[in-house]
Structure 1
Amino acid sequence: MTTVDEILASLPDAPAAAPEDGEERSGHLSAEFYAARPVFQHIQQAAHSQGRPADVLFYSTLARLSGMISPHLKAVTGISGRASLNVFAAAVGPSGSGKSTGQSGARELILPEDPEFRDGLPVGTGEGIAEMFMGTVDEPTGEIHLRGPLKGDPVTRKVRKQVRHNGYIYIDEGQTMATLAMRQGSTLAETLRRAAVGEALGQTNASEERTRYVAPGSYSLGLFVGFQPSTAVPLLNDASTGTPQRFFWCWSLDPSIPNVPPLWPGPIKDHPGQIQAADTIDVMFPERIRRMLWEERTARNRGDLEVAELDGHAGLMKVKAAALFALMDGGRYEVTEEDWGLAETVWAASCAVRDALVARARREAEAERKAAEDAKVNAEVRVHIARNEVDRRMERLVRLVVRHCSKPGGISFGYMRRALRTEDRPYLSEAVDLAEERELVIVEGDHISPNTTART
């Protein structure tokens, strides 16, 4: 079982100041942010027209869209090749606060062009994530039928291979994901980390029908998870492996929902999920941003710059957001400084939510530690009190034994037992033994007599 000390030790460093429950939480995307782009305004209006939290719809739309776009679309910054635009996001809030209804609005907002798009699938295993892209196809063997009704036609065989390239996963309760990921032998956490950056998925098995291989860069995948605050802690605890760093975080509560709902604006008509590119398309970044990312990466790799563990993927996360913002703004393949500024705003909001969760987890762990310590102290006090009560009882009984056996001829155990109160009788033998040990009485068989030679 994990101890409180282990929980505290596993948590990342907490921010200097974090909001207490009930205080106004930072981490919400501002009205100015939504006003910055028509497509952002569209998302906010769509959310509020249905009484849904805007941030949940925004991040789930971003995640769903990232799984819908062509895998040929990649971000190019000059670092580590062409970057996948796969987006993972998590909404945090109490039960019934709009996590599920907020993300479901993304299905009404952006409609897929690809009929093979795997939309909102649940996830159970790492193998299941790879399987969503797999299928069975007829593959030519190079031979032809020599006779029969198929004479002259190619001979084919059933082969399992990647047949899909786009998918979106929705996990209604993040605790389920965390529990599955912690099972012995589970590949879920590792697969999610690989999928977030577009690495190869699947596994090889002895039997061909169970072998899965999804090539790196050959798929687009978005993921959205709903968490209650306490159930987000296991994912945050996984910082050493790099899992929580690959997520955008948002609150599922929205204090800006108006009293009078605006009109439903309809689905977004033009979005990058409709770009079904057959060839490579690079989303390019301005020279200043490329240089900045390069200098940061080289400084880290040289050991000159140390970055907080949870910020290990900050640059990549902002690259993904900025590239998607450019694509959402008229299908541009050139990221602007404005796109980058908006991405930094989103990352700052995400970090505020994440840091508040870390701080909350530390408070809860500290409270659990204090409760455990208090319980231990209380137990020790109870033991001490009970021991003192027993000691006082025994001293009283010893005096009774000595007094009663001082009668001429001493007394029997039976007489002594009858002379005691009912609640004292179970302790008679122990009291007599203690009196004998102190050389106050002499015990012979069933008879107790005073020790006249005892020192006074």
Structure 2
Amino acid sequence: MTTAPSWAPNVREANPESLNRPGRLPETFWAARPLFKHIRQAAHSEGCSGDVLFYSTLARLSGMISHHYRAVTGIGGRASINIFAAIVGASGAGKSTGSSLTRALAPAPDEDFRDGLPVGSGEGIAEAFMGSVEEPTGEVVQRGKNAGDPVMRRVRKQVRHNAYFYVDEGQTIARLGERSGSVLGETLRRAAVGETLGQTNASEERTRYVPAGSYSLGLLVGFQPSTAVPVLADASTGTPQRFLWAWADDPSIPDKPPMWPGALSMHPGQRRLDEPCDIKFPTRVREMLWEEKVARGRGEIEVPELDGHAGLIKVKVAALLALLDNREHATEEDWGLAETVWAASCGVRDNLVERAKREAAAERQREEDARVLQVVREHEATTDATVAVERVARLVKKHASHVGGITYGELNRRLASRDRKILRKAIDLAEARDWVLEEGDRLCVKTP
């Protein structure tokens, strides 16, 4: 039997099944490119999961790259590369480590990049891209030393294009989304596909307008299994299917840490563009995506609710993998790797869904067992009460058999205290069976 380590006497071994559960990136994936090996070594050098750092890097880089990058497959115009990732693990399992490590692995450019912002509200997400600037009014100063200079005014508008958000506990998002009037859920769903963000208000200082295609945004959320399950159960909103899902633990972390491999010498977040750049896809991939879209549009196929954005997410991942490989076009290999990532994500997601089903079934069984137990107890109580009334009725008959019968007061005194509370029922039963009859204030045995 394995004993707990001396430094943690209260630690118990994890369920062995958790070490082999589906959803981890396979060894073939890590061996596919030197970049992946670099990311995994960086993670393991700090005792972190390779999967966690990989997904964290995807999410953060998707918020760091130029907003001019777009994926083009012939479906839905120019798709954003915004990526949302969810890391699932127990408290202290290292969910937050990936977010901090990716800053060392892929340093941000010296530009106005909002890095690792918390999520407070839907309005706050849009506000991350807003600011105040001085703009000319079209008029000029008429007098004084500044005569002829343009008259300026301060206005609020979008002033930045890149943001990465990190939420340590996914339950926070659920709670914020439940607030009356909250637009957080809708904002996240719009941000995932690069749609327009913001709100139009009566006052200029509260108006936020971030046009579609004008920003890059990445999101990383940490979940405990118990908090991830309700989010997945809410698939009708369209929120959970916009995430990539990963486990926080990693059985392949070595006993001795490898060397830190250093930061990536080049990554797509360092490149800035002045005009749109389309990341195009191989003909086979475009045709396959088109066929699926047409089949869905015709009603010929039904896609599971949680797979509703599968094609789009694989497009995003493949596009970012191409950029990480210093290319502005996706290849068949990029697509194959994106499919591996998607399959791993589905493994985590489906495992959690099955867990939810098991927990729901167990809860239903507990409720059913409780109902059965209550019925049994009520039956037993009824049976016990019936027996007790029968017993006391026989005592009533016995005491009433004395010559002249017995008064109610005397009968009450002769009974044990536990029997007095059912005396009335016992007398009624004795009368119903023709054992006794009432004569004035006395009970007498009824003779044949």
TM-score tier by shorter-chain length is: over 0.9
1:285 aligns with: 281
Deviates more, 1:408-417 or 1:370-379: 408-417
2:111 to 112, 115, 121: 115
Distance in 2 of aligned mates of 1:396 and 1:24: 64
Distance in 1 of aligned mates of 2:379 and 2:200: 62
2:353 to 353, 358, 368: 358
Specify the SS of the correspondent of 1:385: helix
Provide closer, same or farther for how the CA distance between residues 23 and 326 of structure 1 changes in structure 2, counting only shifts above 3 A: closer
Distance in 1 of aligned mates of 2:447 and 2:128: 94
Q: RMSD of the alignment, in Å?
A: 1.8
Quote the offset at 1:180 in angstroms.
1.8
Please list the CA deviations of residues 118-177 of structure 1 after superposition, one character each: whole Å capped at 9, or x if unmatched.
111111211111111111222222222223454332222222211111111111111121
Deviates more, 1:142-151 or 1:176-185: 142-151
1:202 and 2:198 equivalent?
yes
1:28 aligns with: 24
Correspondence list, 1:13-412, <5 A: 21-22=17-18, 24-148=20-144, 150-330=146-326, 332-412=327-407
1:416 aligns with: 411
Please list the CA deviations of residues 273-306 of structure 1 after superposition, one character each: whole Å capped at 9, or x if unmatched.
0111110000011111111111111111111122
Specify the SS of the correspondent of 1:119: strand
Quote the offset at 1:20 in angstroms.
9.1
Quote the offset at 1:265 in angstroms.
1.0
> What TM-score do you get using the length of structure 2 for normalisation?
0.93
1:6 aligns with: none
Quote the offset at 1:40 in angstroms.
1.1
Provide closer, same or farther for how the CA distance between residues 399 and 253 of structure 1 changes in structure 2, counting only shifts above 3 A: same
Please list the CA deviations of residues 30-87 of structure 1 after superposition, one character each: whole Å capped at 9, or x if unmatched.
2221121121111101000111111000000000000000111000000000000000
Quote the offset at 1:422 in angstroms.
2.1
Q: Kindly provide the amino acid, as one letter, of the partner of residue 60 in structure 1.
A: S
Provide closer, same or farther for how the CA distance between residues 141 and 399 of structure 1 changes in structure 2, counting only shifts above 3 A: same
Please list the CA deviations of residues 191-238 of structure 1 after superposition, one character each: whole Å capped at 9, or x if unmatched.
111100000111112222111111111110000111111111121112
Deviates more, 1:423-432 or 1:49-58: 423-432
Specify the SS of the correspondent of 2:250: coil
1:13 aligns with: none
Distance in 2 of aligned mates of 1:317 and 1:430: 74
Quote the offset at 1:323 in angstroms.
0.4
Q: Kindly provide the amino acid, as one letter, of the partner of residue 158 in structure 2.
A: Q
> What TM-score do you get using the length of structure 1 for normalisation?
0.91
Quote the offset at 1:239 in angstroms.
1.2
Specify the SS of the correspondent of 1:224: strand
Deviates more, 1:76-85 or 1:432-441: 432-441
Quote the offset at 1:26 in angstroms.
1.6
Distance in 2 of aligned mates of 1:446 and 1:132: 89
Q: Kindly provide the amino acid, as one letter, of the partner of residue 411 in structure 1.
A: I
Distance in 2 of aligned mates of 1:438 and 1:352: 71
Between the aligned residues of both structures, percent identity stands at 64
Unmatched tracts of structure 2, length 5 or more: 1-14
1:10 aligns with: none
Quote the offset at 1:446 in angstroms.
4.7
Quote the offset at 1:439 in angstroms.
5.0
Q: Kindly provide the amino acid, as one letter, of the partner of residue 383 in structure 2.
A: N
1:427 aligns with: 422
Provide closer, same or farther for how the CA distance between residues 419 and 32 of structure 1 changes in structure 2, counting only shifts above 3 A: same
1:14 aligns with: none
Specify the SS of the correspondent of 2:421: helix
Provide closer, same or farther for how the CA distance between residues 405 and 81 of structure 1 changes in structure 2, counting only shifts above 3 A: same
Q: Kindly provide the amino acid, as one letter, of the partner of residue 69 in structure 1.
A: I
Unmatched tracts of structure 1, length 5 or more: 1-18
Deviates more, 1:280-289 or 1:102-111: 102-111
Specify the SS of the correspondent of 1:44: helix
Distance in 2 of aligned mates of 1:438 and 1:154: 111
Distance in 1 of aligned mates of 2:433 and 2:110: 94
Q: Kindly provide the amino acid, as one letter, of the partner of residue 269 in structure 1.
A: S
Distance in 1 of aligned mates of 2:104 and 2:19: 33
Distance in 1 of aligned mates of 2:431 and 2:135: 97
Quote the offset at 1:438 in angstroms.
4.8
Q: Kindly provide the amino acid, as one letter, of the partner of residue 230 in structure 2.
A: P
Specify the SS of the correspondent of 1:266: coil
Provide closer, same or farther for how the CA distance between residues 440 and 340 of structure 1 changes in structure 2, counting only shifts above 3 A: same
Q: Kindly provide the amino acid, as one letter, of the partner of residue 375 in structure 2.
A: E
Q: Kindly provide the amino acid, as one letter, of the partner of residue 331 in structure 2.
A: T
Q: Kindly provide the amino acid, as one letter, of the partner of residue 286 in structure 2.
A: R
Specify the SS of the correspondent of 2:285: helix
Specify the SS of the correspondent of 1:139: strand
Specify the SS of the correspondent of 1:423: helix
Please list the CA deviations of residues 87-114 of structure 1 after superposition, one character each: whole Å capped at 9, or x if unmatched.
0001111111111112221111111114
4+ runs deviating over 6 angstroms = none
Distance in 2 of aligned mates of 1:361 and 1:236: 9
Specify the SS of the correspondent of 2:390: helix
Quote the offset at 1:189 in angstroms.
1.2
